[in-house]
Amino acid sequence: MAITYHSEYLKLQSVFITPVKHAFVSDNRINQQWKALNYLARPNLTNAFEEYEAFQAYLSQKNIQLLNFPLDSQVQIDSIYCRDASIATNFGMIICNMGKEGRSLEPQLHKQTYENCDIPILGKIESPGTIEGGDVAWLDESTLAVGHTYRTNLEGIRQIKALLEPKGINIIVVNLPHYKGKEDVFHLMSIFSPIDKDLAVVYSPLMPIAFRNELIHRNIQLIEVPEDEFESMGCNVLALAPRDCLMVSGNSKTLKLLKDNGCRVTVYQGDDISLKGGGGPTCLTRPLERFY
């Protein structure tokens, strides 16, 4: 089987995660940080441990290799959403520069961890450029969609183009709207989750027309998340394999649409690890290898 890092939906082989014990750590740490990081409510540590144990078990049941980012007292509780601090490519990892100030130290933790694991580094996004991994999604082996948001700026996009375009990668820039403003967590993958080569979960009301048309031109069928399930992360769906999905509970309409389109769906309880901090299953994982 061929291995690639350039997919969001092929069979997932290995993934980095940041367990609750390495991110939330303690009630004291949560108390000090959750308001400043703009969480909707204070996570309950006991519930978070239980939810994450079940979430991790779902990944293990699929024979996915789980790699942990270590405990680091310098980073904050948002480090649980580990997709955001780095980007996986076939040429090595790209270390991000975070658009959210409270997360500025996470990329260095990722870089050090990859170096300790002998995972190559392709490059690093340098200030004033910013990019977060939630704004980055592979459309195919040679096409990367990058959201222009409050977390990912034009200088960051210029730098990722400089790293990848010489290697034959086409970058599609997706200009996202203001929505709720700078303090809100609103990434490209808030409105777009590929789950097969020809199927994606989307929230069209916030999707730029040009990008939506690009997906249709690529013969990608769109599963439209209803308005009342957008805030509860109906659009944040992690593909463990083509049409084999993991999503947070509480989105019954989207769940039915997925099943109607031939998807196998596992639902996890995510009140404290997902909903309060604004990070669904794609945010909780930094996928590496996927198999054709």
* Architecture of the domain made up of 3-184+270-291: 5-stranded Propeller (3.75)
pLDDT digits (tens, 9 = 90+) for 154-209: 999 999 999 999 999 999 999 999 999 988 889 999 999 999 999 999 999 999 99
pLDDT digits (tens, 9 = 90+) for 44-80: 999 999 999 999 999 999 999 999 999 999 999 999 9
Mean pLDDT of 251-267: 98
105 or 184, which is more confident? 105
So what's the pLDDT on residue 183?
86
Task: Say which residues have a Cβ less than 8 Å from residue 69's Cβ, sequence separation at least 6.
Answer: 16, 17, 18, 22, 79, 82, 109, 110, 113, 286
Q: Compute the half-sphere exposure of residue 31: CA atoms within 13 Å on the CB side of its CA.
A: 3
| Mean pLDDT over the full length of the chain | 97
pLDDT digits (tens, 9 = 90+) for 212-235: 999 999 999 999 999 999 999 999
Cα–Cα distance list, 154 to 124, 128, 131, 150, 210 (Å): 15, 10, 9, 10, 18
Residue 137 pLDDT exceeds 90: yes
Residue 77: closest CA among 38, 133, 122, 131: 38
> Rounded to an integer, what distance in angstroms lies between the CA atom of residue 84 and that of residue 277?
13
So what's the pLDDT on residue 64?
98
Neighbour tally for 292: CB within 10 Å: 10
> Rounded to an integer, what distance in angstroms lies between the CA atom of residue 200 and that of residue 30?
34
Residue boundaries of the structural domains of the chain = 3-184+270-291
